[in-house]
């Protein structure tokens, strides 16, 4: 009788053990091996903060924001933190530190916490085994939607985009000088750029105040004598203008001078050409004082030594 009872009990224990093993096997088949969060690297922490989270296989993170204190939380379902992960002290404009650990064990959930100085906007960029988290700054945090490993999904911030900036046209200056004729074409170049380009072609020196450097110039002049083209470019500028030429060639310009106008100086003439240099006649010799012998008196001409002809 006792042997029969012991055999029945043994059969029940064996059956229970087999059922437990089957349950464990079925649980393992339903829960594949958890991924491992291997690395958390801070890429930049200046005006914007950026970090990269790498795992052993692609994962789909979820994110949320919590206030008091402000922090961004990124959870990785069915993942565990790697043994080499350590907290990172950032002390940047927007971020204090980054922490990571195991949030739940069954099923496993790895968690990365970004401690913030204040509410910020952020973006999450999952791509394969990497997840990029970027904090751009702002007064309102934006929660990221669940990400899909493949294809990559960019979760954009709700911060307003800055207005597009129109491209600044590139200044162009075309200066040609040949046989005394000057040609100038400009497209929104500055006065300083135009005058120095003319000086390089004509050999003229250029002097102008700093305020005149950025005066805009749009012109299409010539070919014409250099003095006429330069005078047309400088017509109406709020500065004193002097074009210094050559006394031998009235069309040539050797120097371009601009000065600021003042109440004392007023407006200076726009053109100046030095007069040709004339030879200075010798001054007449002064009459000698009475009674003072002259050079001729002290050095009389030699007397004719030839004897006069016979009478």
Q: Where are the domains of the chain?
A: 35-135, 172-272
35-135 matches 172-272 in fold: no
Angle at 60 between CA 58 and CA 61, to 5 degrees: 120
pTM: 0.37
Query: What is the token pair recorded at 240?
Result: 């004193």
Close Cβ partners of 185 (under 8 Å, ≥ 6 residues apart) = 172, 173, 174, 219, 220, 221
The burial class, CB within 10 Å (0-12 / 13-18 / 19+), for 290 is: exposed
Q: How far is Cα 139 from Cα 67, in angstroms, rounded to an integer?
A: 13
- What region does 78 belong to: left with phi over 0, alpha with psi -120 to 50, or beta? left
* One pLDDT digit (tens) per residue for the chain, 311 residues: 555 455 555 565 445 454 444 444 444 444 568 899 999 998 877 778 888 999 999 988 998 888 888 899 999 999 999 998 989 988 888 888 999 999 998 999 999 999 988 888 888 888 889 999 988 765 444 444 444 444 554 444 555 666 666 655 555 788 898 888 989 888 778 888 888 889 898 888 988 887 778 888 888 888 988 888 888 888 888 888 888 877 677 678 888 888 887 765 555 445 545 555 555 566 665 565 566 565 555 556 665 555 666 65
List CB contacts of 296: < 8 A, sequence separation 6 or more.
Answer: none
**CB under 8 Å to 63, separation ≥6 — which residues?**
72, 73, 74, 75, 122, 124, 143, 144
Written out in words, the top-level CATH class of the domain with range 172-272 is alpha beta
Q: Domain 35-135 belongs to what topology?
A: Immunoglobulin-like (2.60.40)
């Amino acid at each position: 009788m006792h042997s029969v009872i012991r055999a029945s009990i043994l059969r029940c224990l064996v059956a229970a053990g087999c059922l437990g093993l089957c349950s464990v096997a079925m649980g393992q088949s339903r829960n594949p091996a958890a991924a491992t969060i291997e690395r958390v690297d801070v890429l930049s922490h200046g005006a914007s903060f950026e970090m990269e989270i790498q795992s052993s296989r692609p994962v789909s993170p979820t994110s949320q924001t919590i206030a008091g204190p402000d922090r961004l939380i990124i959870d990785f379902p069915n993942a565990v933190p790697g043994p080499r992960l350590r907290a990172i002290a950032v002390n940047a404009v927007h971020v204090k530190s980054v922490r990571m650990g195991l949030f739940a064990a069954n099923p496993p959930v790895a968690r990365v916490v970004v401690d913030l100085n204040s509410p910020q906007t952020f973006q999450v960029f999952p791509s394969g085994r990497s997840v990029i988290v970027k904090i751009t700054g702002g007064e309102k945090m934006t929660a990221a939607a669940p990400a899909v490993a493949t294809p990559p999904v960019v979760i954009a911030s709700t911060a307003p985009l800055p207005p597009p900036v129109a491209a600044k046209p590139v200044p162009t200056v075309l200066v040609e000088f040949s046989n005394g004729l000057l040609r100038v074409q400009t497209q929104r170049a500055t006065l300083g750029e135009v005058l120095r380009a003319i000086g390089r072609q004509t050999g003229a020196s250029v002097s102008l105040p700093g305020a005149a450097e950025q005066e805009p110039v749009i012109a299409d002049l010539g070919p014409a004598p250099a003095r006429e083209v330069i005078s047309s470019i400088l017509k109406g500028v709020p500065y004193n203008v002097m074009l210094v030429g050559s006394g031998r060639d009235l069309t040539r310009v050797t120097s371009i001078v601009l000065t600021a106008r003042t109440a004392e100086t007023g407006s200076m003439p726009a053109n100046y050409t030095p007069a040709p240099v004339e030879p200075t006649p010798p001054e007449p010799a002064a009459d000698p004082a009475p009674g003072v012998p002259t050079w001729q008196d002290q050095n009389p001409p030699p007397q004719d030594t030839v004897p006069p002809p016979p009478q």
